[in-house]
Amino acid sequence: MIIGLLLLTVGMALILKHLVSPGAVIADSKAPLVERIAVVVTGGAALGFLVLVILLAAIMGRTSPQFFAASVSILLGIAAPLFLWRTRWRGIAEGMAIIALGALIYLSSASYGLYLIPFAILLMVGAAKGLRTPKPSP
């Protein structure tokens, strides 16, 4: 639960940093390696879980619409940096992903939330690099 709350705080800090001081898009080659690895690994895992949720919903057939909508929205929130990597919304998407992952860990801390902690640590390290990296001047 503490890691989930910590992720919510770091995600909000990252979103606020990019909302207060919007800058030019950082080229892919200038992004820290840790940040690139965190986005690819976590986004890929989220897309894999999304496919799993869709397959389970199709096989079971009795899945509630609320569960399906919540699962899809949280997993798409975690995968958002993959889709918005080359846009100026990348920092906000990373913050959204951290918040979505923190909410998922907080809500499921007793069951599968423990398995998401390595992704959380990876995203937090990438976000810390992103928070410390100065924006290029236009």
Q: Where are the domains of the chain?
A: 2-19+33-131
> What is the spatial distance between Cα 107 and Cα 49, in angstroms, rounded to a whole number?
16
pLDDT of residue 132: 61
8 A C-beta contact, residue 90 and residue 81 = yes
8 A C-beta contact, residue 105 and residue 117 = yes
Indicate the pTM of the whole model: 0.72
pLDDT of residue 22: 58
Q: What is the pLDDT along the chain (138 residues), one digit of tens a residue?
A: 676 777 777 777 777 776 766 554 555 556 677 777 888 888 888 888 888 888 888 888 777 888 778 888 888 888 888 888 877 777 788 888 888 888 887 777 667 777 777 887 887 777 776 666 555 555
Q: Which two tokens stand for residue 100?
A: 């979505």
pLDDT of residue 106: 78
- Residue 109 burial (CB < 10 Å; 0-12/13-18/19+)? middle
pLDDT of residue 90: 78
pLDDT of residue 51: 86
